[in-house]
Amino acid sequence: MILVTGASGNLGSALVDQLRAAEVPFRAAYHSPEKTEKAAAEGIDAVTVEMSDPASLQPALAGVSKVFLLGATSPGQTGNESNVVEAAVSAGVSHVVKQSLWRADEELTPIARLHRPIERMLETSPLSWTFLRANFYLQAFSGNWAGTIRSGNFFASPLIRGPIAFVDAEDIARVAFRVLTEDGHAGKAYALTGPEALTYDEAAAVLSEVLGRPIAYRGMSNEQALSALAKAGMSSFHAKALVEVCNTYLDGGAETVTSAVEDVTGQRPRSFREFATAHRHCFEQAQGN
What is the model's pLDDT at position 134? 98
- The answer to the question of residue 74 being in a domain is yes
- Domain end position, chosen among 89, 111, 134: 134
107 and 17 both lie in a single domain: yes
- Domain end position, chosen among 110, 134, 158: 134
6 and 103 both lie in a single domain: yes
45 and 61 both lie in a single domain: yes
83 and 121 both lie in a single domain: yes
**Residue 240 neighbours by CB distance under 10 Å:** 16
17 and 51 both lie in a single domain: yes
79 and 97 both lie in a single domain: yes
CA nearest neighbour of 190 among 198, 199, 179: 179
pLDDT in tens, the chain (289 residues): 999 999 999 999 999 999 999 999 999 999 999 999 999 999 999 999 999 999 989 999 999 999 999 999 999 999 999 999 999 999 999 999 999 999 999 999 999 999 999 999 999 999 999 999 999 999 999 988 999 999 999 999 999 999 999 999 999 999 999 999 999 999 999 999 999 999 999 999 999 999 999 999 999 999 999 999 998 889 999 999 999 999 999 999 999 999 999 999 999 999 999 999 999 999 987 665 5
8 and 139 both lie in a single domain: no
- C-alpha 28: how far from chain center: 16
Rounded CA-CA distance 264/175 in Å is 6
112 and 140 both lie in a single domain: no
198 and 273 both lie in a single domain: yes
In the chain, how many domains are there? 2
Domain CATH for 117: 3.40.50.720
What is the model's pLDDT at position 288? 52
- The answer to the question of residue 181 being in a domain is no
The answer to whether 99 and 130 have CB atoms below 8 angstroms apart is: no
- Residue 281: which residues within 8 A CB-CB, separation 6 or more? none
E strand spans, 81-178: 95-101, 128-134, 154-158
The answer to whether 103 and 112 have CB atoms below 8 angstroms apart is: yes
The widest CA-to-CA distance across the chain, in whole angstroms, is 61
- The answer to the question of residue 272 being in a domain is yes
**Residue 140 neighbours by CB distance under 10 Å:** 14
- Domain end position, chosen among 134, 152, 184: 134
- Residue 92: which residues within 8 A CB-CB, separation 6 or more? none
Residue 24: give the domain boundaries.
2-134
- The answer to the question of residue 184 being in a domain is no
Q: HSE-up of 65 (CA within 13 Å, CB side)?
A: 5
**CA quadruple 236, 239, 241, 242: dihedral, nearest 10:** 180
Rounded CA-CA distance 133/105 in Å is 9
62 and 35 both lie in a single domain: yes
**Sign for the pseudo-dihedral over CA of 111, 138, 212, 249:** positive
- The answer to the question of residue 239 being in a domain is yes
- The answer to the question of residue 251 being in a domain is yes
13 and 125 both lie in a single domain: yes
- The answer to the question of residue 64 being in a domain is yes
142 and 279 both lie in a single domain: yes
Domain CATH for 221: 3.90.25.10
The answer to whether 239 and 226 have CB atoms below 8 angstroms apart is: yes
Write the pLDDT tens digit of every residue in 149-181: 999 999 999 999 999 999 999 999 999 999 999
- The answer to the question of residue 175 being in a domain is no
What is the model's pLDDT at position 144? 86
